[in-house]
Structures are given as C-alpha cells and as structure tokens.
Structure 1
Amino acid sequence: MKNISKPLILIALLSGFLNSCSKMEELQDDPNRTTDATPELILTQLEIQAFNNIGTSAALASRHLVNTDGVNSNQYYNWQRSDFGNYDLLKQVRQMVLEAEEDELSVYTPLARFFNSFFIVGLTQTFGDVPYSEAIRAAEENFTPVYDRQEDIYLIVLDDLKTASDELAKNDETILGDVIYNGDHLKWRKLINSFYLRVLLSLSAKTGNPGLDIAGRFREIADAPSAYPLLASNEDNGALPFHDIEGNRYPLFQNNGLQTAFYMEKTFVDKLKALQDPRLFSFAEITPAAADQGLTANDFEAYNGLKGSVPLDENVQIAVNGNASRINKRYYDQAGNEPSLLMSYSELQFILAEAASRGWIDGDADAYYREGIRASMEFYNIAESAINTYLENPGTQPDPGNEIASILTQKHIAMFMNTGWQIFYEQRRTGYPEFDVSGGGVLNNGKIPKRWMYPSKEETQNGKNLEAAITRQYPEGDNINAEMWLLKEE
C-alpha cells in the first residue's frame, strides 16, 4: 500500500500526554492554572483528531460494507442522536491560540481558523443549526449559547478559510508539532484552499443565493492558482500515515469484529465488477466458495457481497454458505496500511470535475474526472497499465447528460472506508450513487436519514435555545428525516 513518509516520532514520544483527554480538558477549563502545554503539543493532538477518518460506521451507511453481527443502526438507517464532541476539539483550538499568543507566535492562528472551520462544518452537517458565535465561551460564563443559523455558519467558515490562506502566505514562522506536512506552509495553504472548494461544493443547492455567490467564490480560487494554490498530487494529500508504533497503528489493526463480521456490500461489489475495477482486489477477499473452485484473487468472478438492505438472517446464511467476500485482511493485519485522509488530491479533482459540469468554472470536466480516477488508483498502487486500461473502458466514461452521477460514482469508489462521512454527505447532497434500500430489512420506513437528532443533554442544559433552533428549522420536530437548510434548493 502507498504509505506517505512523514515524521511521526513526536506522536510516539508524546502519546502518553496526547491520549489524556481529561488532562487536556482540565487544562482548558481552568485558565488560571499554570501548565506546560505548548501550541505545538496541542496542534499535534488536533491533527490526530481531524485527520483520523478511518472507521466502519460511515462505511456501513455508505454501502461499502455490511455487518453480520446484529442489526446495525448505521447499516439499516435507524440512527437517532449524535453528540457535540467536536466542541471539546474547538476548546483545544482556542487553547492552542492562547498558548501561541503567550509565546508571541502568530502562525498557529491561521491553522486555528482551519481547524475551527473543519470541526464546525462537521457539526452543522450532522445537525443543522448549532452554536458557534457564542460557543466555547464558558470562561465568560455563557453556558447557554444561541444556535447560529447554518447559513451564517457557512459564511463565517468561508471567510475564515480564505483569511487563513492569506495569513499563511505572509507568515514565515516555523510550525512546530506538525505531523501532517512537517511545517510546510505551502502544503497547508493547498489543503486549506482545496477544503474551501469542498465547502463551496457542499452548498451546491444554494447557487441562487446572491449573498453566498457560490460560483463566483469558487472561480476566484480555482482560477488563481498562484494566489490560491491547490493540492497538486497525492504527495499533497491531507493524510495521516500509520506505522507499527504504539499509539500510531492503523485504527482497525487487529480489530476482531472486522475479521469476523464485516463483508463487502453487494451493490458496491457489483459496481466494481461491472466496471472491471482492479481496486476491488485491494478492498476485498475472494469468497470461500470461489477459493474452493480454484479461482484467483485477480478474477472478478471470485467476489460477491451482501446487500446492506437485506434482513440480517438472510445475510448471515449467505455468508455461512461461503458466498460473500470479507473485507481485505490487510485492513486488520497491517499496522501501517493506508493513511487516513482528511482530503485527497483525488477528491479535489472530482470537485473540479463537478464544478466544471455545473458551469462554475471553464475547465475540462472530463480531464478532471479522469485525473481523479488516476490519482485514486495510484493511491492504491494500481499498476500504470491497469489504470490506462480502466480509463479506456467504455463503462468508465462519463454518462453524457448525467456527468455528475458518473463523478459521484467514482468518488464513492475512491473514498472506500476513508475520509469519514464525506461520501455519505455527498450522496445526501446529490442523490448519487443510489444507496440500496430494496432488501426489506431497512428500518426508518425504508428511508435514508438526512441528519441526526440533537444530544439529549441539550434539552436540559440549553433547552430554550435548542427549542428555538428546532422550531425555525424543522416543522416536523427534531427528526432524522428532517431537511436542513443546506439541502434545500435556492
């Protein structure tokens, strides 16, 4: 597997400190307490939290994987509430800035703008309106912050990301504690500007909103590479690599559940087989039945999946009969494995392809699309000859008149069990690719949820502001099927 070499010695040496969340929270909650925290230590922890986006929950919801160990709420679309955990991370961002100001270091301020934006976007995509302008102000004795409108949050985020890039361009201070880019200002600017385009694309339903000016903002960045450089190759990926070092191993290494209960999702496998996509060989194991027949790992007919929408007992029986492919064993056998992506060069190319298809920019949508596929395959170490063959495959060509569906299909493949919930949000935004709900086992009346309900503790701790936010957004109440502002066409 591709493994980006970056200095992670700091994580190993400081893992005892960085894994102590309670100690960090004590540090934040008592501003009068003398501590040894430094901005570089906090930056390292923030990077680990933001860039580690490997997990099975999103993969189940996004029809990459199937779980046979009970009725999983993510797979069967019956989730309810999520949490406000990102606010703890926003506290750490604030603390990093305070510590940097004491040391008269300004370089951590633009990085803080990026992390604030990343964590708040995650929160608002989960719930809708959330506290932001008054959040993280317990030191000012504001324990009941108002809920900001989602539109206002996005306006703040867009301004902050652009400011962050501009500030970094003028700053020559050393970034200590950076385990992602080793202090490289240019690569940070590339990531921030590319993430800015991701945020704009997430607002694709709002092109009619003159206050947001989505297409204009997008062109301003995409058409000015010297002022706003973007990710230029896989070497620029916003990636957290893993090594066989205590505290820095692949998150699913030696995960027993992954070895025994997780299989590939059938509609995903069937798509890869139809496209003759060699990434299937990297994602999956051949079925036991195929092994008994003597089929090899490079034979597409040796693979099969389980439908995520099928009742549990039916899937278990298919698996017991040896007709389902498990996830590739490297995902639980290799301590290093592939890096976790916050954002990749491949994703950026698909973003540009969609923007060109929508007429936001004048670039060649097909060229961006093909480059996105190539970058993804290179990430998985697919041979150059196999990449060229795949790109010439008639089934891989963009569907005329429905190019966005083709782009999202390839983005779905590229984000297999990586980049967190991003591909689920992309599907929620566009409807592509279609997530199967036909099998009769799906809960939530066969519907794919559009959001999560607010944490229950908000009802008692900030009930008045919570109720006001629910009332103005969701006439049906705090419901997982309610449509947030972000998804409503303007």
Structure 2
Amino acid sequence: MKQNKLLLGLMAMALSMSACKKFEAFQTDPNKPTQAAPNLLLTSIEANAFNEVSLSATLASRQMAYTDGVNDNQYYGWQRSGFGNYGNLRQVNRMELEANRMNKPSYVAIAKFFRVYYIMRLTMVFGDVPYSEALQATEGNYTPKYDAQEDIFIRALDELKEANAALTAASEAVEGDILYAGKITQWKKLINSYSLRILMTLSNKTNNTKLNVKQRFAEIVNNPAQYPIFDVLADQAQLKFVDKVGNRYPFYNDNSIQTAYYMDESFVNMLKTLKDPRLFSFAAKAPKFDALPATDFNAYGGLQGSASINLNSDRAAKGEASKINRRFYADPANEPGIAIGYAELQFILAEAVVRGWITGSADAYYKKGITASFQFYNINTDAADTYKAQAAVQLTAGTEIKSIITQKYIASFMHLGWNSFYEQRRTGFPTFEVVGDGVLNNKKIPVRWMYPENEGIYNADHLKEAINRQFTTGGDNVNGVMWLLKAE
C-alpha cells in the first residue's frame, strides 16, 4: 500500500512538472523569436519613419481641399492626437538592444538618430512629452515624467552629435539599409542635415544660452570634414516605392484621392502668379478648361480650403477645380517620398545667412534649393533658369525669409510630412486663409494638439504637471502656445 502511494505520488509530480512545461511552452511562440538581428529591424524602421507622404498635412497646409465631409485638418477643428510614435520608439530601442548584444555600434548610432526623429515628431505635436523616462515599463515605470520641451531639444541635439561622432570610416557595414545601402558617410550627412533642420526650428530661441542655436548651427556648416551635410540631390532621405505589394506609393489606386480631393485655390494661385511649371506636375487640368493645353496656367483652378463643403462641392461639380495629377494614384512607384530634403536644406542655409548665423550668399543657397526642386520633378534646366530670373522670385531686402519659406513650401507638396505646417507656425509664411464659413476653432489656426485622453487616466499627475508648466491659462488646448514658439 505504501509502495502504491509512493508510485502515485511520483506520477502526480511528473504530471505536474509536465503540465508546467506545457504551460510555459504555450507562452513562447516558436515562430516569433525574442531576438532579431538589427539589420532586419532597421529595414522596417526606415520604411515606417521615412514614409512622410501625407494628405492630412496637405489639407492643413492649404495645398489641397476635401469635399466628402468636414475634414478637421482642413477646417482646423482637430483636438487630440495620439502617442503612437512611442510604439515606433520601442522598435528603435529593440534595434539598439540587439546591436549592443551583437556588438554592432553602427546600428547603435543610427538608433540615436531614429530616437531623435520620433521624439521630434512627438514634441512638435504636443510640446512637453516623456523622453528621459519613456519606455521604462520593463523597469516598472508605467508613469514616466514629461520632459520640458527645452530639455528635449537640448538632449536631441546632443544625441545627434554623438551619433555623428560614432560613425567613422572604420564603422562596420550597415546591412538592411533601404535608404543608403549601408554607406556610412550618407548617414552622417543625414544626421547633420537633420540637425540643421532642428536648429532652424529653434529660430525663436537664439538668445537661449543653454541651446546656443547659432553656435551649434555654424559649427556644423563650417566644419564639413567633421560634419558632412547633403551635397547633392541624391543625398536626401527619400523613400523609393516599387510595384510590389506593400511597397507601392501610398495612394496608388486610392479611390478617395481620385474623387474627393482637389487642389487648394490659394496654392494654385500662388503657382500661377509665379508662373511655376511645377503646377503641371502637381495637378491635373480643371475639367472646365480641359480644352486648353496642359502647359497653360489658365487650365488650372482650385477650391477655397476654408469655404463650406456645399460651396466647394458646387464649384467642383462645375469643373472649376483641378484634382491632383493622375500619377499620384495611377503610378504604383510614382515619385520617392522625401522625408528630409536636399532642396529643404538649401532653403535652411539661405535662411541662416539672412539671420546672420553663417556667412555666404543667401541668394546662392536659395537658387540651389529651387534648382534642386525642379531637378526632382525632371523639369529642364532652361525652364528652371527662366523661372529663377523672374522678378517675383528674387530675394528682396526685408522680405527674404518670406520668399525662402514660400519656395520651401512649394517644394514640399506631398513631401516632408507636417513640416510645411510647422514652418508656417514658426514664421507666419505663407498665409493660410481662414475667412470662409467652414473654418472651426473660431477661425483660428491651431498651434498644437491636445494630449491623448488615456494619459489623463493612467499618468494624470505627470500630465497635469506638464500642462501647468507650459500653459498659464486655458490648460491643455489646441491654441496653447508651446515653449518652442515663444521668442527669447
């Protein structure tokens, strides 16, 4: 009897241990490895980060108009945005972890770039956001503090400087790189060109001694051996699309862009006034003027972005407005999507000269930017030279920044994500009209987005602290002026 009991006990123990093993086995999916080579992660990170083709941004930036309903981006009626970019940051952190595990320091440096890239997306939307304590849930920190926007910019610029220094001629090859095919020098150019964009974003902060904006900017520009930047159009960060499932242009075969989106009238009129042939690449002829040649500026029209839907729909039905050029939805590859551009950089350098941050010819940089944009659209040199020779295109004393930002704005059509909106927010150029009956938010252009609602539930104390630190009145609202926009 005792032997039987002992036997039964051993069998029960064995079954228990077997059950534990089976349960643990169910918790680990053998088809989903917990470790991944950093090159595999880099490919997906790049494809996500550099896809900056956005119809929402074109609506908010008065380049297109929508007719199938009240679009909050067009009518400035937005409220909250999300923290989805922290999910992208998790992938970046994972790549850095795997790079350290496999002793691949080049990927660690590139991870620093992407960490800054995504945190910039977040802070430009909201203001203060978690940075130094972000993504510490595995360490038990589920309620990270919000870093002040000033500290975010300082840390971001320092991280980019560290990333540039870490990449050298002796750095190991970077595989899985769909942007630059592993060329280290190209990554250095990208990192430093992006640093210049961030520094120009801080143009209201030139008296801030913690940031040293002008000094940082000049340090990069004046030392190309240590801080190379984009030299030619091919250097820019652009995502190329190909005719394969999952890799096609984002609006290929998109029905909505074919039927509900039209060019904005103010944008079309700007191009027509400047006799800008890029209009023919951006837009289709308005049906009402279809008999005119495609190179006749009179063949193009647009809708008033701020007008009511009824008014715009009526004008569209009469054939007065141009739709986007057919290639944007009929060509699976179309054009590469520019995330950080060579033309953009030339306009940044031109503005820096005007502001006295660096020496050189603002006009030369400005004209290089225009030329680069024309080259991107395969417009011939003679047309570019004729365009640049016009009196309306010249830099004029006292209005240089307006002209520079206007050209940057034109070159950004369907590129650079929300950068054009942020540039208008920073400089006031170009003017986004709000006079129509459709505009919400008391006919004011919002300058930020409210924080996600669940932050008020799960991280309420830190959120409240950040809101009180930033906004003395009004609390968390779309018209609150973030630190970035306050001159000092």
Deviation of residue 181 (structure 1)? Answer: 0.2
Q: How far, CA to CA, are the matches of 1:253 and 1:34 in structure 2?
A: 33
Residue 488 of structure 1 aligns to which amino acid in structure 2? Answer: K
Q: Which runs of structure 2 are paired with 1:90-101 in the superposition (5 Å)?
A: 90-101=89-100
- Shift in Å at residue 148 of structure 1? 0.3
Q: 2:244, 2:417 → 1: CA distance? A: 23
Q: Given the alignment of the two structures, is residue 351 of structure 1 paired with residue 326 of structure 2, yes or no?
A: no
Letter aligned with residue 486 of structure 2:
K
For each residue in 1:374-432, what CA deviation from the matched residue of structure 2 results, as whole angstroms up to 9, or x when unmatched?
00111011111101100101111123211000001000000001110011001100001
TM-score by length of 1: 0.92
Do 1:65 and 1:308's aligned partners in 2 also have CA atoms closer than 8 Å?
yes
The equivalent residue for 1:483 is 481
Write out aligned runs for 1:263-274 (5 A). 263-274=262-273
Partner of 2:282: 283
Q: 2:427 aligns with which of 426, 430, 440?
A: 430
* Aligned 8 A contact 2:35 2:98 in 1: no
CA distance in 2, matches of 1:152, 1:430: 23
Q: Which residue in the other structure is 2:367 paired with?
A: 370
Which residue pairs with 1:474 in the alignment?
A: 471
In structure 2, C-alpha distance between the alignment counterparts of 1:149 and 1:302, rounded to whole Å: 50
Give the letter aligned to residue 214 of structure 1. V
- Helix, strand or coil: the match of 1:75? helix
2:105/2:171 contact within 8 Å kept = no
Match for residue 14 of structure 1? none
% identity of equivalent residues: 52
Q: Secondary structure at the match of 1:74?
A: helix
Matching of residue 302 in structure 1 with residue 299 in structure 2 = yes
1:311 aligned to 2:337? no
Partner SS, residue 234 of structure 2: helix
Give the aligned residue type for 1:357: V
Secondary structure (helix, strand or coil) at the match of 1:316 reads helix
Tell me the SS of whatever aligns to 2:99.
Answer: helix
How is 1:68-467 mapped onto 2 (pairs within 5 angstroms)? Answer: 68-169=67-168, 171-291=170-290, 294-467=291-464
Q: Distance in 2 between matches of 1:321 and 1:429?
A: 37
**Equivalent residue number for residue 16 of structure 2:** none
* Partner amino acid, structure 1, of 2:446: P
CA distance in 1, matches of 2:396, 2:480: 31
Cα shift at 1:226: 1.4
How far did 1:328 drift? 0.6
Equivalent-residue separation in structure 2 for 1:65 and 1:399 (angstroms): 29
Please report how far the alpha carbon of residue 43 of structure 1 lies from its aligned counterpart in structure 2 after TM superposition.
0.6
What is the CA–CA distance in structure 1 between the aligned matches of 2:236 and 2:257, rounded to whole Å?
Answer: 26
Whole-angstrom CA distance in 2 between matches of 1:216 and 1:186: 23
Largest Rg, 1 or 2: 2
Q: Which residue of 1 aligns with 2:13?
A: none
Give how far 1:172 is off.
Answer: 2.1
Measured in 2, the distance between the counterparts of 1:171 and 1:86 equals 32
Would you identify which runs of 4 or more consecutive aligned residues in structure 1 move more than 3 Å?
none
Q: Structure 1: which 5+ runs fail to align?
A: 1-28
- Which residue in the other structure is 1:54 paired with? 53
Write the deviation string for residues 60-105 of structure 1: whole angstroms up to 9, x where unpaired: 0001100001010000000000000110111111110111122111
Which amino acid in the other structure matches residue 485 of structure 2? L
Partners of 2:169 and 2:184 within 8 A in 1: no
SS at match of 2:339: strand
- Name the CA distance, whole Å, in 1 between partners of 2:381 and 2:100: 49
Q: CA deviation at 1:225?
A: 1.1
Whether contact under 8 Å (2:43, 2:177) holds in the other structure is yes
CA deviations on 1:116-145 (whole Å, 9 max, x unpaired) are 000001100000000000001111010000
Q: In structure 2, what is the Cα distance between the partners aligned to 1:335 and 1:170? A: 37
Deviations 1:12-38 (A, max 9, x none): xxxxxxxxxxxxxxxxx99xx953521
Paired letter, 1:470: I
Q: Work out whether residues 55 and 252 of structure 1, in 8 Å CA contact, stay in contact via their aligned partners in 2.
A: no
Question: 5 Å matches for 1:37-52?
Answer: 37-52=36-51
Partner of 2:15: none
Indicate the SS of the match to 1:482: coil
Q: Distance in 2 between matches of 1:326 and 1:90?
A: 36
Q: Could you list the runs of 5+ residues in structure 2 that have no partner in the other structure? A: 1-27
- Deviations 1:282-325 (CA, angstroms, capped at 9, x unpaired): 0001111101xx20100000001101011111000000001110
- Whether the 8 Å CA contact 2:164–2:227 is kept in 1: the answer is yes
The residue type paired with residue 187 of structure 1 is: Q
Separation (CA, whole Å) in 2 of partners of 1:113 and 1:37:
18
CA distance, structure 2, for counterparts of residue 384 and residue 160 of structure 1: 39
- Tell me the amino acid that sits aligned with residue 167 of structure 1: A
8 Å CA contact 1:286–1:303 kept in 2: the answer is: yes
RMSD of aligned Cα (Å): 1.2
Q: Deviation per CA, 1:143-168, whole angstroms, max 9, x where unpaired?
A: 00000000000000000001111111
